[in-house]
Chains A and B, each alone.
Chain A
Amino acid sequence: MSSKIEVPSPRAINRKRLEYIRLYSPVKVDVPKARPIDRSLLKYGGSEPSVLEKNIHSPVTPGAINFPPFKVTPELEQKADQRIDHYPADQRRSAVLPLLHEVQHHFGFISPESIDWVAGKLDIAPIKVVEVVTFYPGFRQKAPGKYHFRVCRTLSCAMGGSYELMAKLCEITGIDRSGADSHKDPISVSPCGNYSVEYAECLASCGTAPVCLVNDDFHEDVTADKAKDLITQYNG
C-alpha cells in the first residue's frame, strides 16, 4: 500500500451563511467587564500604575518571602558588564536574556524595577525588555516558591506518568493548581511559600520519563510514588 495522501479542499464559502449572518447579526455577546486593578496586589505601588506594572503580571505570592527585593549591587553590575562584553559593542541589546537570567537568579522573578534597570543597562526602551519577558516562559513574573518544581508534561513523560506526579506534588505541598493557565499564569505557589509547581514542555530526557527540574537540579524517573522522597530532599 502506498501512502498517497489526499488533501481535503477547504470548505467553499457558503454565501447563504454569510447572508444569514448579515441579516441576524449582531448576535448578542456578553463581554466581561474589565476588572479594575487591585492596587494592593501590586508589589510596587505608585499612585498610577506604570506601563510596566500594567503589562507584567507581578502579584505578591507567598513565595516572595524567599527573595530579597530588587536592588542593584556592584556584584550584579559587574556580572552584567561581563555578559554584555560577549556581544559586539553596537549590539548590547543581545544581552537582554543573559541579564534577565542574572536578575531572576538572584531575585526569583522579573519585577518592573528590574526591567527598568536592564533597559537602562542596555540603552533600550523598557518596553523592549517587557516584550521579551512576556514572551519567554522561562521568565517568571511572580515569585515562585523557594523550591520551584517544573514537571514535564509532553508526550513521553505523560505516558510515563507525569500528570500523576504533578497531582501528587500538589497534594503533598497543598498547592491549588486550579487557577493555573499555561500561557498567562503558569506558576502555582504553596501557602507556606516553600514550594511552587509549573508544567514544562519536553525537557529533553524523554528516555528517563517522567522527569522534572527542581530549581537547577534535574531529576529523572520520578514516578508519583517517588514524589514524597523528592520533596523531602528539599525541606530546608
Chain B
Amino acid sequence: MSDIKYLPGKEPHEKECRLIFKNVDRQGWDTSIETYLNDGGYEVLKKSLGMDPKAVTEDVKGSGLRGRGGAGFPTGIKWGFIPPKNTKPVYLICNCDESEPGTFKDRYIVHQDPHQLIEGMVISAYAVGAHTAYIYIREEFPEAAITLERAIAEARAKGFLGQNIQGSGFDLEIYVHRGAAAYICGEETGLIESLEGKRPYPRIKPPYFPAAMGLYMAPTIVNNAESLCHVVHILRMGGEEYVKLGTPRNSGTRILCVSGDVKKTGYFEVEVGKITFRELLYDMCGGPKDGREFKAVIPGGSSSKILRCNESFTIGRGDDAKDLSFWDLPLDFDTLAAAGSMAGSGGVIVMDDTRRMSWVLNNITHFYAHESCGQCTPCREGSTWMKKVSDRIENGQAVPDDVKTLEEIAYQIDGKTVCAFGEASAWPVEGMIDKFRDELVGETSEDNDFKTAERIAQEEFLSTAQ
C-alpha cells in the first residue's frame, strides 16, 4: 500500500488512516473499472459471494460498524431487522443525498471512486437478500450521476452486476435515482417517499421502520454511501481485524470534513476516537488563520450543538469520569454525545473570534426554515419563527427577551415532530443560546421594545382589571 502516490499538495496527513479515501486524489487514478480491477478491486466481492449471506451480516455485526450518515446506528444490527418471514422483495438504498451543511465526504466517493461504492452495495445486497438497489444521489451532483451510471454499466459488462453475478446465482440491479435539491430527502423515510415519486414527507416511526415497511411497503435497508464502502473493507479484513481500528464501541475509520476558519480545510480519514480536537485543528488543519483565535466548533454537521473552544467537560460516569478540556476531546460518537453534542455526519465547522454568533445562528436558522418539509406544525412554524427572531437579533432590532423566546421555540420543537429534522433544527439554536447567551443578549437592547398604542392599552388592561 505504501507505493500509493497522491497528487502534489493533496497527500494525506501522517495521522490519517486511509481506507475509504485510499484512492481519492491518487496519482494515475481514474473512475474506470480497469483501474479499479488493477488495484485488486472486486476481489472482496468474489470472496463474499462464496460465503453464506448470514456470515457476511455476522462479519459486519462483528465489526461494530456504526452508520456514517448521522445517527451512528450499528449497520449489522440494522440489517438484522428485516422480518425473518418476509415474502416481499427486499430493497437496498444507498443514501447519497449528502446535504448536511459542513459534510463533504460522499462527494469524493462518488466522483472519484464509484466502483468501491458499487462493490460495497453488491456485498450488502447479497447479505440482506436484495435484488434491486437504488443510489439516491442529490441533484447537485450531476457529474457524479453520470459517473455512477457509467460505472454501473461497466460493472455489468464485467459480470459484477446483473444476472448470476460471478456464477454465484445471485442477481442484482443497481439504478441511480437523482433527487431535486431538498435536504429532507436525506431522512431515510423522506428519501423513500421521494423514490416513490411523492413529496418527501417523512413517515412516522413507529410503525414505518424501513427495515420492515420501507420502499413500496417492502423491507428496505437505507445506508449512507460511506457506510456501504466500509463493508468492502470489513469483508476484506474480516470483522475481527476491522474492530481493532479505532476505539472500543467506535470501530473503524471515519472521514472528518473540516471547513470554516482554519488554515487548511479539507477531509481527513482517521481512526474513530484516536484524534482529539487539538490534533485535528492544530496539527492537521494548521491552526487558526493568522492573528486570529479559535472561538467555537460545530462538531458534526450544522445540526449538532456548537462547542466553545474554552470549555471543559466531564466525560464518563462514576469512577471512570474524567475532566477533559475541549481540546482533549477525542472525536468519537460516545464522547461527543457525552459532551452534549454529537458526532453526526463528521462535518466540523470552525469559527474564529471574528465571527459574530448572532450572524452564524441566523445563517443556520435560515437553512432550516428553508428546508423544513412543512408536514408537522412545530417544525414548519417553529423553524420560520426561529428564522424571524434570529433575523431580529442579527439586525440589532431585538429586545433581550427575544433570546429567551427563541430558546423556548427551540425546546418546543425538539421531540415533538414526525422526523428528526425537528431536533436537527432545534439543537443548533439550543446549543448556541446555551453557550453564547451573553453574546446574543449583548446584541439586543431594551430600546427596541417599541410599543404600539394597542399594546399599551393591552398592558394597562392586564395590569388592572381582575
8 Å CB contact of A98 from B132, B177, B199, B298: B177
| Chain A residue contacts of B430, Cβ below 8 A | 5
B7 within 8 A of A: no
B101 touches A156 (CB 8 A): yes
Assuming the A-B contacts A7-B411, A94-B196, A131-B199, are A154 and B140 also in contact, with contact meaning beta carbons closer than 8 angstroms in the complex? no
A95 within 8 A of B: yes
B314 within 8 A of A: yes
Chain A 9-45, CB within 8 Å of chain B: the 1/0 string?
A: 0110010110010011001000000000000000000
B197 touches A95 (CB 8 A): yes
8 Å CB contact of A205 from B104, B143, B216, B340: B104
Assuming the A-B contacts A98-B178, A156-B260, A204-B138, are A182 and B461 also in contact, with contact meaning beta carbons closer than 8 angstroms in the complex? no
8 Å CB contact of B313 from A3, A124, A216: A3
A200 touches B140 (CB 8 A): yes
| Chain B residue contacts of A14, Cβ below 8 A | 462
B410 CB to nearest A CB, Å: 9
A5 touches B367 (CB 8 A): no
Interface of B is mostly: mixed
8 Å CB contact of B182 from A10, A136, A158: A136
| Chain A residue contacts of B98, Cβ below 8 A | 204
8 Å CB contact of A138 from B139, B340, B349, B371: B139
Chain B 250-271, CB within 8 Å of chain A: the 1/0 string?
A: 0000000111110001110000
A139 touches B180 (CB 8 A): yes
B302 touches A204 (CB 8 A): no
A100 CB to nearest B CB, Å: 7
8 Å CB contact of B142 from A24, A209, A216: A216
| Chain A residue contacts of B181, Cβ below 8 A | 136-138, 200-201
B196 touches A206 (CB 8 A): no
Assuming the A-B contacts A100-B180, A138-B179, are A206 and B349 also in contact, with contact meaning beta carbons closer than 8 angstroms in the complex? yes
Chain B 348-362, CB within 8 Å of chain A: the 1/0 string?
A: 010100010000100
8 Å CB contact of B197 from A94, A203, A218: A94
Chain B 120-154, CB within 8 Å of chain A: the 1/0 string?
A: 00000000000010000011111100000000000
B197 touches A204 (CB 8 A): no
A125 CB to nearest B CB, Å: 12
A155 touches B180 (CB 8 A): no
A27 touches B454 (CB 8 A): yes
Q: What is the interface size of chain B, counting residues whose CB is below 8 A from a CB of the partner? A: 73
8 Å CB contact of A204 from B106, B180, B434: B106
Interface residues of A (CB under 8 A from B): 1-3, 5, 7-8, 10-11, 14, 16-17, 20, 23-24, 27, 86, 88, 91, 93-98, 100-101, 122, 124, 128, 131-132, 135-139, 150, 153-156, 158-159, 182-183, 200-209, 213, 216, 218
- Interface pairs (24), CB distance under 8 Å: A3-B311, A8-B408, A23-B461, A24-B458, A86-B177, A91-B196, A93-B196, A94-B196, A94-B197, A98-B178, A122-B197, A136-B182, A138-B180, A150-B140, A155-B101, A155-B349, A159-B355, A182-B366, A183-B370, A201-B367, A204-B141, A206-B103, A206-B265, A218-B143
Interface residues of B (CB under 8 A from A): 98-104, 106-107, 132, 138-143, 175, 177-183, 194-200, 216, 257-261, 265-267, 298, 302, 311-314, 339-340, 347, 349, 351, 355, 360, 363-364, 366-367, 370-371, 373, 404, 407-408, 411-412, 430, 434, 454, 457-458, 461-462, 465
